[in-house]
Amino acid sequence: MSGSPLAARLAAVRNQVADAAREAGRDPDGITTIVVTKFQPVSLIRELAELGVRDVGENRHQEAQAKARELESLGLRWHFVGQLQRKKARQVRAYASGIHSVDRVELVDVLASDEASVDCFVQVNLTDDPGRGGATGDDVLRVAEAAQAAPGLRLRGLMAVAPLGEEPGAAFDRVREMSERVVADVAPGASDLSIGMSGDFREAVHAGATHLRIGTAITGNRPAPA
């Protein structure tokens, strides 16, 4: 198993994350790598679990729910990273340990609960396209405020995807500025940053990422969506 291409890619990414952390003067243990397994078969997720992966990410509710059910005995932490529909939000809560795409107060209202807390991140949209998901401007603070006040949600910080056509380090610096405002004005403990994907995780580590969401650099190419 340890000789498989998947094992080799996972080991290479882990080394690169650790190297980037050291370069940035950070402790690699402060960085959680979430392996994004969207469109990948459960067999691949089982192999990842055997290789020691504990955190996996998915972006579509039905697929995530089915995989989480089938693989329940593995004790993985499921992170939901895709756009979240209001009517699906409570169902996502049931299997997710982290929801990275909370981008409007309406979702916070649906996710609030007396049940055990779920970690959440307020997603920031760094593009000019409102269809991309994520809050912008002062709405980031409003959503964070709602999440901070809601029972059953533990606000961890902000999440973002670096836009095409912008240097990722510059994009991540914009997220960090917003994060500093959230921490100063709304939620002192919510300083985590879910930033960095296959193409830009090194820049994200330098910018202070606490959670990386890495797909293809570890899994290889994704099969076409079902």
Binding residues for ligand PLP (CB under 6 A): 36, 38, 59, 81-82, 161, 197-199, 213-217
Between 59 and 179, CB nearer to ligand PLP: 59
Token look-up 């959230």 returns: 182
Between 13 and 178, CB nearer to ligand PLP: 13
Between 63 and 113, CB nearer to ligand PLP: 63
Select the residue whose beta carbon is closest to ligand PLP and give its number.
215
Shortest Å distance, C-beta 122 to ligand PLP:
14
Q: Could you tell me the CA-to-CA distances from 124 to 81, 87, 116, 161 in Å, in that order? A: 12, 21, 25, 8
Give the whole-angstrom CA distance, residue 95 versus residue 80: 9
Between 44 and 161, CB nearer to ligand PLP: 161
Token look-up 């095409």 returns: 164
Among 214, 224, 217, 216, which Cα is nearest to 57's?
A: 214
Shortest Å distance, C-beta 126 to ligand PLP:
12
Between 37 and 179, CB nearer to ligand PLP: 37
Shortest Å distance, C-beta 4 to ligand PLP:
19
Between 101 and 148, CB nearer to ligand PLP: 101
Between 202 and 213, CB nearer to ligand PLP: 213
Among 162, 154, 139, 149, which Cα is nearest to 190's?
A: 154
For 59-128, strand residue ranges (E) read 77-80, 96-102, 118-124
Shortest Å distance, C-beta 219 to ligand PLP:
7
Give the whole-angstrom CA distance, residue 178 versus residue 121: 13
CB 174, CB 163: distance < 8 Å: no
Shortest Å distance, C-beta 151 to ligand PLP:
26
Shortest Å distance, C-beta 57 to ligand PLP:
7
Shortest Å distance, C-beta 125 to ligand PLP:
12
